[in-house]
Amino acid sequence: MKRQSPYRPQIGSISLSAITALYLVLFTNRTFWGKVHAYVGATPIAVAALYLAVSVLFVAFATAFSAKYVIKPVLIFLVLAASLAAWFTDSFGVIVDSDMIRNAMETTPAEANHLITPDFLWHVLLFAVIPIALILWVRVVHRPVLQKLWWNSVTIVGCLVIFGAVAGVYAKEYTAAIRQHRDIVKSLNPVTPIVSTTRYFIQARKEARLIVKPLGTDAKVVPVMNAQKPRVTIIVAGETARAMNFSLGGYRRDTNPELRKQGVTYFPQTTSCGTATATSIPCMFSQLTRANFTHTKGMENEGLMDVLAHAGIDVAWFDNNTGSKGAAARIKFVNLANSTDPRFCKNRECQDGIFFDKLDAWLNGVTKDSVLVLHQIGSHGPAYYLRYPKEFRRFMPECETAELGKCKDDEIVNAYDNSILYTDHFLSSVIDRLKARSDKIASGLIYMSDHGESLGEKGLYLHGTPYILAPEEQTHVPFLVWLDPDFTASMALDKTCLGQSAAQPTSHDNLFHSVLGMMNVSTSAYNAKLDVFAGCRTGRTS
């Protein structure tokens, strides 16, 4: 005789939808409600009414999927999406928009592992696995089709009427709060993550069919008088370095002891194009300015490295990060992030010292004007302590875990500052390698970070906040230039003038045109107004 299945409680489909909706509203939206209380708290009744309005809106949405074979998959998806998004929103203050989804899709397994911590797994167990298990356990009772359509419709319409009434009564309070604090709506979970993910996949599908438009095919190098050596520019694309922690810009700690002795020109007022690598890197290497840049436009147009190649310059990209994001799609690309050199690498991640041997070999092989990009792992979090060797543990105690919630903010800052200290050493070491070959090449280095980082300020950690909401910590980035005497002469550059003009505001918009200026490239794609060197050239070079 077949054994009877264990008792499973029965529940109506609308009831299950309503309970799940209320769970989402009350248990996966801590950040959203925290913002509501902070921004609308002066009117407690409006806050209470908003709880009601959001709850009935969620009930209406869930009830719309209250049909046999559909209800459980949809509710499970909502709970899973909300619980995952809630962890990152509540723990780090991030907003899961389309750019954040793109970052997640393009990340490496090693980076992802830093975010899958014991605390994260406990969160998923409590807020996803257990609720999903309960949804699977209960037996849903469905009414006959016509009755279901009637009761579902009544429920949805009733909820929407209540929502509309609340919105109408308190429209003034809600509208004022949203206009002043756009992060309120963007924190609503799982609405923002689901909408953002949908937008990402729609955009990715369109971008997959793009035909890249050529740029700067008229490019050529303007001859340099008395040039007897190849001219070499190293572009270091930094990762997660924020300007306020560079002592070159006035930071209280000496995080740039080596660069300070190298005679670099530092640009203290530089802003980024984005707050995440997936946006900033293609934007940095694009002719487009931040005001005109979109990810799609960046993908459908050739960029800086292509224009340099059109001019006959030897170009290459060495990467110790998550790739060039399309900026090196048509040139020589060397991925070092998966190296296994035990001096620099562990668990499928490498510190930036992994560049040195490859850089030496590349420099030794230079025979013509050349540009090389070194894309760092830099100060990528949350595991800042893994970004530098032990000898760079100067600021102590440091946070020695990727679980930032287990560290004090000053320990997080200490680990981050140690990573900046190592970037200082890395850049200085690259300059030393260029100096050592001054008899064979004329050389220059340009360093610019892709975005900054939040280290607990305003309750935010990491990066990726939508630009319109992003704090200065994520958008104010370090930018510096080093040029040897021969390279300076080849540009007819007045370095005193450059040092004085460096105090003016700069941004990622300047990289494309400044590198073309450094390499004396003439092209219709060049804009002298965005070249930081243009105003300090003392004469023509040919």
Residues 214-246: tens digit of each pLDDT: 999 999 999 887 678 999 999 999 999 999 999
Query: Any idea what DSSP says for residue 386?
Result: G
Alpha helix ranges (H) inside 170-190: 171-180, 183-186
Q: Which residues of 63-97 are buried (b: 16+ CB within 10 A; e: fewer)?
A: bebbeeeebbebbbebbbbbbbbbbbbbbbbbbbb
Is the whole-model pTM more than 0.75? yes
Query: Any idea what DSSP says for residue 537?
Result: B
Listing DSSP states for 23-71 in one string gives: HHHHHS-HHHHHHHHHHHTTSHHHHHHHHHHHHHHHHHHHHTT-STTTH
Rounded to 5 degrees, φ, ψ at 461 are -135, 160
Greater pLDDT, 362 or 4: 362
CB 299 within 8 A of CB 210: yes
- Token look-up 């990810």 returns 295
Confidence bin at 4 (pLDDT 50/70/90)? very low
Greater pLDDT, 203 or 335: 335
Residue 167 burial (CB count, 10 A): 15
Residue 414 has pLDDT above 70, yes or no: yes
**Cα 406 to Cα 172, 359, 432, 462, distances in angstroms:** 41, 38, 39, 15
CB 461 within 8 A of CB 93: yes
Mean pLDDT value of segment 394-408: 94
**Structure tokens given for 455:** 């280290």
Instruction: Please report the pLDDT score of residue 542 as a whole number.
Output: 43
Residue 5 has pLDDT above 80, yes or no: no
At position 383, the amino acid (one-letter code) is: A
Would you say the C-alpha torsion 245, 251, 252, 257 has a positive or negative sign?
Answer: positive
Instruction: Please report the pLDDT score of residue 541 as a whole number.
Output: 47
CA distance 43 to 53: 15
| Residue 199 burial by Cβ neighbours in a 10 Å radius (0-12, 13-18, 19+) | middle
Alpha helix ranges (H) inside 189-317: 191-208, 277-284, 295-300, 304-310
Greater pLDDT, 90 or 285: 285
Instruction: Please report the pLDDT score of residue 433 as a whole number.
Output: 98
Interhelix angle 44-63/30-40, rounded to 10 degrees, is 150
CA distance 412 to 399: 5
Could you tell me how far CA 216 lies from the centroid of its own chain?
28
Instruction: Please report the pLDDT score of residue 361 as a whole number.
Output: 97
CATH of domain 229-536: 3.40.720.10
Share of the chain above pLDDT 90, in %: 83
Confidence bin at 53 (pLDDT 50/70/90)? very high
CA distance 271 to 478: 8
CA distance 322 to 73: 33
Residues 442-495: tens digit of each pLDDT: 999 999 999 999 999 988 999 999 998 899 999 999 999 999 999 999 999 999
Instruction: Please report the pLDDT score of residue 539 as a whole number.
Output: 67
Contacts of 264 (CB under 8 A, 6+ apart): 248, 431, 480, 481, 482
Contacts of 133 (CB under 8 A, 6+ apart): none
CB 478 within 8 A of CB 461: no
Residues 113-152: tens digit of each pLDDT: 888 889 999 999 999 999 999 999 999 999 999 999 999 9
Intervals of CATH 3.40.720.10 along the chain:
229-536
| Residue 292 burial by Cβ neighbours in a 10 Å radius (0-12, 13-18, 19+) | exposed
Contacts of 314 (CB under 8 A, 6+ apart): 366, 367, 368, 369, 370, 371
CA distance 71 to 18: 12
CA dihedral 489, 493, 499, 503 (to 10 degrees): -150
Contacts of 174 (CB under 8 A, 6+ apart): 40, 46, 50, 167
Confidence bin at 1 (pLDDT 50/70/90)? very low
Q: Where are the beta strands (DSSP E) in 283-353?
A: 314-319, 332-335, 345-346, 349-350
Listing DSSP states for 444-484 in one string gives: EEEEEES---EESGGG-EES---TTT--HHHHB--EEEEE-
Mean pLDDT value of segment 338-343: 92
CA distance 299 to 303: 9
CB 123 within 8 A of CB 83: yes
**Structure tokens given for 42:** 């002066």
Mean pLDDT taken over the chain: 93
Q: Where are the beta strands (DSSP E) in 366-520?
A: 370-375, 442-449, 454-455, 461-462, 479-483, 506-507
Residue 62 has pLDDT above 90, yes or no: yes
Residue 399 burial (CB count, 10 A): 24
Mean pLDDT value of segment 159-165: 96
Radius of gyration of the chain (CA): 27
